[in-house]
Amino acid sequence: MDEFVGRCKIGRKFSVGKSVNGVEFFGVEVSDKPGVEEAEPYYKYIGNMHGNEVSGRMLLPMLAEWLCANNGKDARATRMVRDMHLFLIPTMNPDGFDARQRENAHGADLNRNFPDPVLDRGSDLRKATAATEPEVAQIMDFILSRTWSASANLHEGSVVVNYPYDGYTSPGRSGTAHLTPDDATFKFLARTYADKNPLMAASREFPGGITNGAQWYDIYGGMQDWNYVVAGCMEVTLEVSAEKFVPASGLKAIWDQNRDSLIAMPLAAALGGVRGRVTAAGSGAPLAATLAVKSSDANSDAPVPFYASKNFGFFARPLVPGTHTLVVAVDGYATAEADVTVPTDGSGVVKNFVLKPLK
């Protein structure tokens, strides 16, 4: 990683934190201005939260290398580097990797350790508790330090894209889907990935290579639902290999299967939906607004909010092509609402909001 950021000026290394055994783990931010906050969409990939699922820690550095080699040559790479910030964290469980085990050094499954919107209902889900593992608490802090469009975390054990919800509103059910109010957009994101992965696209177990999390098997304390509900970040879970602890010899095949998907997903999620800024009328000051996509379905659950950045009032949200209604709220300002039409060509739509202060 040091070698990469030394050689490639579009990369900046950052520390996420330390594992139970004191192993520091890192990420790379890829952008034309890495380390400088901009009014651009943020997207992240996190790998190896299960120590024995290693594809992510190999694929994410390969993606960084691909961007470095193709920036200015390939339109996708150029756009990703120029118009957004991509955060790559190859491992969040270095101790599990060292021990060749799923769990961290405390024996905890990190994908069951996040504050859970269902099990921990009523408590502040942004805060780690005594039960939160250090790797999870540090990833939570990292995620909450920015506003994100979307993300994915990489696993092994199957070949499918899994989208929220992972849990039911009351545990104990099984086999039925628990869909979010953003279901059409989640399916669109999942298909964006799966359509370009030949194994997923041809899946017999999962039509189209995608599945609702709870419908497959429900989990609680997962990173995916926490990202969506708490951080306002539309996360999906990528299962990229049926075999766990893929040997180095299998890496090339997995890269070939996933490369175009790993490239397509951030572009579609961060730049293909809606993005814009929220500012105050008169002063033009940026507003850290709370936004939501209103559902046209009266029976749907309440919209799940997402957020504009404090420093720029910037927001970016994936949206399936079509017309949607956005609602924007800030304390002390009149709430605003607007329709946006997202085109099918992946270019996204820009919508800025100027909010009037309440008297």
Residues that are catalytic: 239
- Ordered alpha helix ranges (H), the chain: 2-7, 55-70, 75-83, 94-98, 134-144, 183-194, 198-201, 213-216, 223-229, 251-266
Smallest gap, in angstroms, from Cβ of residue 48 to Zn ion?
9
x/- map, 94-133, Zn ion, by CB under 5 A: ----------------------------------------
CA 46 to chain centre: 8
> With CB under 5 A as the contact rule, which of the stretches 76-84, 147-155, 201-209, 289-297 interacts with Zn ion?
147-155
CB nearer to Zn ion: pick between 199 and 354: 199
> With CB under 5 A as the contact rule, which of the stretches 86-94, 126-134, 148-156, 306-314 interacts with Zn ion?
148-156
Direct distance between the N- and C-terminal alpha carbons of the chain, in angstroms, rounded to an integer: 52
- Binding of Zn ion by 235 (CB under 5 A): no
Question: Under a CB-based contact definition with an 8 Å cutoff, are residues 193 and 261 in contact?
Answer: yes
> With CB under 5 A as the contact rule, which of the stretches 12-20, 142-150, 154-162, 175-183 interacts with Zn ion?
154-162
Smallest gap, in angstroms, from Cβ of residue 213 to Zn ion?
12
Question: Under a CB-based contact definition with an 8 Å cutoff, are residues 308 and 289 in contact?
Answer: yes
> With CB under 5 A as the contact rule, which of the stretches 81-89, 155-163, 180-188, 255-263 interacts with Zn ion?
155-163
CB nearer to Zn ion: pick between 53 and 182: 53
- Binding of Zn ion by 155 (CB under 5 A): yes
Smallest gap, in angstroms, from Cβ of residue 237 to Zn ion?
8
Smallest gap, in angstroms, from Cβ of residue 289 to Zn ion?
34
x/- map, 35-64, Zn ion, by CB under 5 A: ---------------x--x-----------
DSSP code per residue over 286-341? B---EEEEEPS-TTSPPPPPEE--TTT-EEEE---SEEEEEEEE-TTB--EEEEEE
CA neighbor of 239 nearest in space, from 276, 288, 286, 206: 206
Smallest gap, in angstroms, from Cβ of residue 201 to Zn ion?
22
CA neighbours within 13 Å on the CB side: how many for 156?
Answer: 24
CB nearer to Zn ion: pick between 40 and 103: 103
Cα dihedral sign for 258, 46, 326, 163? positive
Question: Under a CB-based contact definition with an 8 Å cutoff, are residues 347 and 339 in contact?
Answer: no
Scan for tokens 């290999």, then name that residue: 241
The contact set with Zn ion (CB under 5 A) reads 50, 53, 155
